[in-house]
């Protein structure tokens, strides 16, 4: 699992959408399950790794038979080569409202795969640890009762039916946010980013590379990073 004082810059807000460059302290606050403040209805949060070193946090809730709420948060951690530059502590993130239909779809997939009935992976028979892989975290709040479970690389578990259900749910929920993920990827304001394993770099010419480096140096100077 990836482990992640207070600064916000380049913040944009419009129609239920926000994007910003932020520090790890802000990321920790933003990624806490917001549903813990609710005592009404059913709420679910899915934290998952997406392609191109992007992390997604999908939150959906059903307050009653006609009221649905949901958001998706996406973020990446900036990468710099420490042999060439000083460290930098920045993430790029966006948070966007989900439509009622999108929320209903994700909840439908959760129900179809019996997600609330599947225990955390450590107590599932046959679930084996994987040296390298992806961890999915699923939290639920059902009328005030909170549950938090994690699943390590379900796609690598042979013959474990619960793993197949978890992977189907993650794939289906990720498909719902596919357009939002594509838009996020095109708006990332870093030259390179990484999840600790995969490094993604933009294809840039010398002029744009210099422009990104100049912006990073300015940021370090403003933040007092030595």
Nearest to 78 by CA among 94, 56, 54: 54
Domain range for 171: 8-223
C-alpha of 205 from chain center = 30
Say if 41 falls within a structural domain: yes
Q: Which residues on neighbouring strands pair with residue 192, listed in sequence order?
A: 201
User: Is 1 inside a domain boundary?
Assistant: no
pTM as predicted: 0.85
**Lookup result for tokens 């980013």:** 193
Q: Tell whether 169 is covered by a domain.
A: yes
pLDDT value, residue 21 = 80
> 3-class DSSP state for residue 66?
coil
Q: Is residue 75 part of a domain?
A: yes
- Whether residue 115 is contained in a domain is answered as yes
pLDDT of 33 reads 58
> Taking every pair of C-alpha atoms in the chain, what is the biggest distance, in angstroms?
56
pLDDT for the residue 41: 85
Beta carbons of 202 and 192 less than 8 angstroms apart: yes
Averages of pLDDT over each 10 residues, the chain, 226 residues: 30 50 72 60 91 91 90 93 90 92 96 96 93 88 87 94 97 96 94 92 94 92 84
Distance CA 183, CA 165 (A): 28
pLDDT at 14: 36
Tally of domains in the chain: 1
DSSP label of 165: H
- 3 lies in some domain: no
β-pairing verdict for 135-142 and 54-62: unpaired
The predicted pLDDT at position 32 comes to 60
Q: Do 39 and 143 form a contact (C-beta atoms < 8 A)? A: yes
Q: Is 2 part of any domain?
A: no
> What was the pLDDT predicted at 2?
34
* Count of alpha carbons within 13 angstroms of residue 47, beta-carbon side: 19
Q: What is the pLDDT of residue 197?
A: 86
The pLDDT, as a whole number, for residue 190 is: 94
The CB density around residue 137, as the number of other CB atoms within 10 Å, is 17
């Amino acid at each position: 699992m990836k482990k992640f004082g207070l600064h916000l810059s380049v913040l944009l807000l419009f129609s239920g959408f926000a994007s910003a460059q932020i520090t790890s302290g802000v990321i920790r606050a933003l990624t806490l399950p917001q549903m813990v403040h609710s005592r009404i209805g059913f709420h679910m949060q899915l934290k998952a790794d997406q392609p191109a070193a992007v992390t997604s946090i999908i939150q959906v809730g059903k307050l009653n038979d006609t009221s649905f709420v949901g958001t998706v948060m996406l973020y990446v951690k900036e990468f710099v080569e420490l042999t060439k530059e000083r460290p930098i502590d920045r993430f790029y993130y966006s948070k966007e409202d989900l439509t009622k239909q999108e929320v209903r779809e994700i909840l439908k997939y959760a129900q179809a795969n019996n997600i609330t009935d599947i225990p955390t992976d450590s107590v599932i028979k046959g679930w084996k640890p994987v040296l390298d892989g992806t961890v999915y975290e699923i939290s639920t709040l059902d009328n005030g009762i909170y549950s938090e479970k994690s699943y390590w690389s379900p796609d690598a578990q042979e013959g474990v039916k619960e793993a197949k259900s978890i992977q189907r749910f993650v794939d289906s929920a990720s498909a719902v946010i596919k357009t939002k993920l594509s838009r996020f990827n095109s708006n990332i304001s870093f030259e390179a980013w990484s999840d600790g394993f995969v490094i993604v770099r933009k294809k840039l010419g010398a002029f744009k590379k210099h422009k990104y480096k100049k912006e990073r140096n300015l940021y370090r100077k403003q933040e007092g990073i030595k």
